[in-house]
């Protein structure tokens, strides 16, 4: 298990780092900009917005980002999911997700094995050790 854990981490480490950085940035950018789009003038704030497009029934429509932090978050989402790199990017993103699941289970398994070995050798059986 340790051998697989090492080899898969060598292959997917860069992609998982990319996913972690873009995911973190996509959460930080809205916080830094206040989570709002471009500032509205008093006239815009006082008049209710009339939708220019009404989504037809049985469809799920998402509004497009309108500049500012929203467009940056949209870009970060496309980079994070791999959509910017086409089908190959999406495939690598999906495989990286499976790799993260594998790392979670194999890391836990390796920790349990180390804990059992320490207990069997009559060493201090703690959750954390030096």
User: Do 22 and 116 form a contact (C-beta atoms < 8 A)?
Assistant: no
For residue 76, the model assigns a pLDDT of 82
Residue 60 Rama label (left phi>0; alpha psi -120 to 50; beta): beta
3-state secondary structure of 31: helix
How does residue 68 score in pLDDT terms, banded at 50, 70 and 90?
Answer: low
User: Do 3 and 106 form a contact (C-beta atoms < 8 A)?
Assistant: no
Longest Cα–Cα distance in the chain: 75
Q: Does the structure show a pLDDT above 60 at 89?
A: yes
Q: How many residues are recorded in the chain? A: 130
Q: Structure pTM?
A: 0.52
Q: Where are the alpha helices (DSSP H) in the chain?
A: 2-32, 42-46, 68-81, 86-120
d(CA 64, CA 83): 16
For residue 54, the model assigns a pLDDT of 72
Q: Which is more confidently placed, 90 or 34?
A: 90
């Amino acid at each position: 298990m340790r051998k697989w854990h090492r080899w898969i981490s060598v292959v997917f480490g860069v992609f998982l780092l990319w996913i972690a950085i873009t995911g973190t940035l996509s959460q930080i950018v809205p916080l830094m900009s206040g989570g709002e789009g471009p500032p509205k003038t008093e006239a815009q704030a006082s008049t209710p917005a009339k939708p220019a497009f009404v989504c037809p029934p049985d469809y799920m429509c998402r509004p497009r980002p309108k500049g500012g932090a929203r467009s940056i978050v949209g870009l970060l989402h496309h980079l994070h999911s791999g959509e910017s790199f086409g089908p190959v990017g999406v495939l690598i993103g999906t495989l990286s997700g499976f790799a993260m699941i594998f790392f979670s289970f194999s890391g836990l398994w390796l920790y349990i094995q180390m804990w059992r070995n320490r207990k069997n050798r009559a060493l201090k059986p703690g959750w954390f050790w030096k």
